[in-house]
Amino acid sequence: MLIRKMTLKDHAQVLALWRNTKGIGTGDGDNKKEINSYLKRNPGLSFVAVSDKRIIGAVLCGHDGRRGYLHHLAVALDFRSRGIGTSLVNACLSGLNALGIAKCNIFVYKSNISGRKFWKKSGWGIRTDLLVLQKKVS
Ligand SMILES: CC(C)(COP(=O)(O)OP(=O)(O)OC[C@H]1O[C@@H](n2cnc3c(N)ncnc32)[C@H](O)[C@@H]1OP(=O)(O)O)[C@@H](O)C(=O)NCCC(=O)NCCS
């Protein structure tokens, strides 16, 4: 198993993994064009885990100059509980740290109890004072 930087060539496999993973919500923002834009804007911060040429884990990571953001962390069911999720997150956090980004945020579905347990165990705290709001720009 190898952890390496995500490239656009990984898109089809990564999207298939996300779509097959309970707890990950995919949408317009995950098409090839938008992932290309994301990877270009945040070079070297998103990672995949690969076993025998199969992508068995993936995570998107970026920052806005102040704070980092992780999205769509997923590990294939048959590869879970081997530390792969933790390794993917650590790769992202190392990348953010190297860029001087001091804190990282994630968005987790409230209903994703299993995912929430993973983040809690990994030391992530819930910001109970915040809500996530969104508006269409175009
Ligand atoms: C969350 C996820 C990425 C974890 O990947 P993983 O490779 O199994 O995680 P790790 O093996 O690195 O686990 C790290 C620790 O978290 C714990 N953990 C992992 N998943 C857990 C769960 N569902 N419930 C409780 N603890 C969990 C592990 O026991 C491990 O602790 P340990 O080191 O003391 O044994 C994976 O379960 C997954 O893809 N889930 C579905 C998608 C999802 O919810 N992603 C997060 C969306 S924001």
pLDDT in tens, 59-100: 999 999 999 999 999 999 999 999 999 999 999 999 999 999
Buried b (16+ CB within 10 A) or exposed e, 64-99: eeeebbbbbbbbbeeeeeeebbebbbebbbebbeee
Distance between CA atoms of residues 35 and 24, nearest Å: 16
* Residue from 81, 82, 92, 105 to probe ligand 1 pocket by mutation (most atoms less than 8 Å from CB): 81
State residue 46 phi and psi, 5-degree precision.
Answer: -105, 145
Question: What is this structure's pTM?
Answer: 0.96
Using CA positions, which residue lies closest to atom 35 of ligand 1? Answer: 81
Angle between helices 11-19 and 32-41 (to 10 degrees): 110
Break the chain into its structural domains and give their ranges.
2-121
Q: Which two tokens stand for residue 132?
A: 């996530």
| For the CA of 109, the nearest atom of ligand 1 | 48
Indicate the class that CATH gives domain 2-121. alpha beta
Distance 23 CA to ligand 1 centre (A): 12
CA of 26 from ligand 1 middle (Å) equals: 19
